[in-house]
Amino acid sequence: MRKMTSLTRGAVLSALAAGCIGAAMAQGTFPGPDLPPPPGTYISPDLFHILFANGIVIEDPSHARFTNSMPPPPPGGTQIHEFGSFLTCRVVLPDGTTVPAVMQGNVVVRVHGLPPGEPEVRTFETEMLQMNLVGTVMGQLVRVRESPTLPSRGDIRMRALPTGQFRIDSFFDIWVEVSLDDGQNWIPSTNAGHVELSRGGCPGGDVNGDGIVDDVDLALVLSTFGTNDPMGDVNGSGLVDDTDLAIVLRDFGKSC
């Protein structure tokens, strides 16, 4: 790999913030009404990539593995949802070099229940109040946060199905900022990233919940092998080991 200049590195990390968070995917069907849906994933709809004018491509962005969910508020009620999460994506540099990226951190969302509208449909106004993610990209500590000055709003539409499951449609328009110096300075994105909800996490080897088992999932397991990192612990045993690797290899190439 050729040595990255500081300008190129800055472009990559800015693209990472705008691309990974500015991802989207279609809605999904979930086993219950809790928010955020535990098997839910936010991911890109545009063939899983985002192209930037400087030639950098962001592929397979996925924001998932929400650690805490709760029932939605009643009509007229407001709740503050706080939960941890993981974000993964793949950065393709202009020279073709591919850099996988993993971040984790906490998110705070306000959910407000609206009066009943369509029959059997519940609607909620949402606003992401905070998002603080941290990870390492090309050996450099990177922090990504939701803008403290621009509102990141969205909504949720929920319908109970005869099967007992719930159809949940959700989107956010999220303004993000990235820091390359541990939070001393922040670089804002030039536009809000539109994100939508999908049911992820299938099949079993789909580590990042983007609906396909591919080299990103394999890289996540290999990069955390021998640790207790929950991102690579596919079977939830408390250790990333050959069993987790075998699950990914078994499901490699499968999608849902």
- Give the whole-angstrom CA distance, residue 124 versus residue 171: 11
pLDDT at 64: 84
Contacts of 223 (CB under 8 A, 6+ apart): 100, 102, 232
Please answer whether residues 210 and 90 qualify as being in contact, where contact means their C-beta atoms are separated by less than 8 angstroms: no
Tell me the pLDDT tens digit for each residue of 87-143.
Answer: 887 766 667 777 787 889 999 999 999 988 766 789 999 999 999 999 877 777 878
Tell me the pLDDT tens digit for each residue of 208-243.
Answer: 666 678 888 898 899 889 998 766 777 666 788 998
Phi then psi for residue 9, to 5 deg, are -60, -40
Q: How far apart are the first and last CA of the chain?
A: 34
Q: Which residue has the higher pLDDT, 94 or 182?
A: 182
- H-helix or E-strand spanning residue 244: helix 242-251
pLDDT at 249 over 80: yes
- The domain made up of 203-256 has a fold known as Type 1 dockerin domain (1.10.1330)
pLDDT at 25 over 60: no
Q: What is the value of pTM for the model shown?
A: 0.69
Q: For residue 127, what are its two tokens?
A: 């606003």
Q: For residue 107, what are its two tokens?
A: 């998110």
